[in-house]
Amino acid sequence: MTHAYGLPENPTPQSIFDKVATHLFEQGRPALNGNSCAYRGEEGRVCAIGCLITDEQYDRRMESKAGYAVLRDHPLQDLRPFDELLDELQVVHDRPAHRNEDGTFDLEILSAKLLGVAEKHGLKPYAALRITEAEFDALLKAREILAQPELPAGYSFNMRTWARFEHECGTACCIGGTMGLLMADAFDVVIAGGTAVDDLPREQRLVVRGINKHGPQSDAFDPLFFPGRGGGNPEAHWDKYTAAQGVQAIDEFLAGKRQPWAFSNV
């Protein structure tokens, strides 16, 4: 894995949060020297603040200092405007309670703690969910559609199919298929206009089906898009799930739950 330590270009609280959250998930465990958290740790690992410090800026005298002291005592002026955010991200990295017995991060706890930081600072939490900003926006729009008292004419919710045109009821979509239509800017054309997904231009079809980078592709969606992998009964008839249950599963996913369909077994 190639690392580019240091602040993002034109740093903002959002871009810093995104970089740190992505780094923690990719690294998978805290940076330690022995049992102590480290800015530069064993096996090349770095902590939450450490991933924003370039190798040129790093000074071994930083070790054993709290984040605020490192920002105060070392020439890290560009980080100082974000001191409160950085302090909270460092706590997420440092707490032993956020780890499994083997020392790796508990990903559900890590996600929940990062979601809390994002909420406190008014940031979009997509990096805490391990998805892209475009995917996050499409998921919220899909939730809004499913939460309507009446679904749009020509649209039906079906977790057993991605996005299938059916002459008798229009187009049936699961959560991922609904997101794909939205991300391809094809929801109205397909649902209101009655165009089959297979008749869309090739680039739009690829987006709808999540085949290219502009569609819903992140691996983190796996337990949401496939209920049997997300705590639902693998033998259940997924086409029986209702739009209201789809909303509930999305809410569980947005809360960082790794089994967003577990409620359906109760």
In percent, how much of the chain has pLDDT > 70?
Answer: 97
The answer to which of 24-28, 31-35, 137-141, 262-266 has the lowest mean pLDDT is 262-266
Interior CA angle at 151 toward 216 and 203, to 5°?
30
- 3-class DSSP state of 158: coil
Measured CA to CA in angstroms, residue 98 lies from 45, 91, 105, 114, 149 at distances of 17, 10, 6, 11, 39
**The two three-digit tokens of residue 85, written as one number:** 């955010």
Transcribe 33-53 into DSSP letters: ETTEE-SB-GGG-B-TTGGGS
- Residue 166 pLDDT > 70: no
Task: State pLDDT tens for residues 109-147.
Answer: 999 999 999 999 999 999 999 999 999 999 999 999 999
Mean model confidence pLDDT for the chain? 92
- Distance (Å, rounded) from C-alpha 89 to C-alpha 93? 6
Look at residues 96, 113, 129 and tell me which one is the last residue of a structural domain: 129
Q: Which of 75, 102, 129 is the last residue of a domain?
A: 129
Rounded to whole angstroms, the Cα distance separating 190 from 188 reads 5
Number of domains in the chain: 2
In what side-by-side order are the strands of the sheet with 155-157? 155-157, 170-173, 163-166
Using the predicted structure, report yes or no on whether residue 27 has a pLDDT greater than 90.
Answer: yes
The answer to whether residue 195 scores a pLDDT higher than 90 is: no
Give the pLDDT confidence of 210-222 residue by residue, as tens digits: 877 788 999 999 9
CB neighbour class for 203 (10 Å; exposed up to 12, middle 13-18, buried from 19)? exposed
**Are both 20 and 110 inside the same structural domain?**
yes
- State how far Cα 159 lies from the chain centre: 21
Burial class (CB in 10 A: 0-12, 13-18, 19+), 114: buried
Residues 68 and 140 in one domain: no
Range of the structural domain that residue 160 is part of: 133-265
When pLDDT is averaged across residues 237-255 and rounded to a whole number, the result is 94
Pair 131, 139: CB distance under 8 Å = yes
Asked whether residue 144 falls in the same domain as residue 254, the answer is yes
Would you say residue 7 lies in a domain?
A: no
How many whole angstroms separate alpha carbon 161 and alpha carbon 175? 9
Q: Is pTM beyond 0.85 here?
A: yes
Residue 200 lies in a domain: yes
Residue 161 shares a structural domain with residue 238: yes
